Amino acid sequence: RGAPRRCMLSALSSPLALLLPVSRCPRIQMAASGPQADAQRWIEEHHGAVSKSQGMGGSGWASFCRVSTAEREFFVKTSNKNCEQMFYGEAVGLRAMHATNTIRIPEVLKFGDSESGDGSYIIMDFLTLGGRADQRVFGRRMAEMHLATPAAAEAR
């Protein structure tokens, strides 16, 4: 049967936690404020309880997370910079591309600054990407997207 599984996650806060069996491992709670907490709160208010939240790495300026509810999955990006600097342009661009209904673009559901003022977030559909697309069809749809009438008046 081997050695019993031990609590590794909480060992960061206390080396004694390594002595606890996994069943008694304390749950790490999400921060009560900040962009990640605001994004999770919005998801729960509009789509039900979060059943899973999985970090997906990040870049030098943002962190990525896959968040699941019973209803759907979301891709959440957070940053310690304000929304104007980070996600406003991305949200407007993604919404414009999504509106063309030509290629598969995630729907932007919400973006903004955190209530605590210490960062920003953008919430969109999580897309499972993979497989081999027909390059000819993709090329045609990409051309259709570029030829579509822009949704924003200032882009026409």
The number of domains in the chain is 2
Closest CA to 42 of 127, 123, 125: 123
Q: Per residue in 24-65, pLDDT tens?
A: 444 434 456 799 999 999 999 999 999 999 999 988 889 999
User: Does residue 128 share a domain with residue 73?
Assistant: yes
Q: Read off the pLDDT band of 85 (50, 70, 90).
A: confident
- Per-residue model confidence (pLDDT) at position 22: 43
User: Does residue 104 share a domain with residue 86?
Assistant: yes
- Per-residue model confidence (pLDDT) at position 150: 81
- Per-residue model confidence (pLDDT) at position 32: 62
pTM to 2 decimals?
Answer: 0.75
- Per-residue model confidence (pLDDT) at position 133: 81
Indicate the DSSP class of residue 3. Answer: S
Q: In 12-87, which ranges are continuous DSSP H helix?
A: 35-47, 83-86
User: Does residue 45 share a domain with residue 26?
Assistant: no
Q: Print the domain residue range for 15.
A: 1-30
User: Does residue 98 share a domain with residue 42?
Assistant: yes
Residue type, 67: V
- Per-residue model confidence (pLDDT) at position 151: 76
User: Does residue 9 share a domain with residue 63?
Assistant: no
Q: Per residue in 99-128, pLDDT tens?
A: 999 999 999 999 999 999 899 999 999 999
Q: Which domain CATH number covers 69?
A: 3.30.200.20
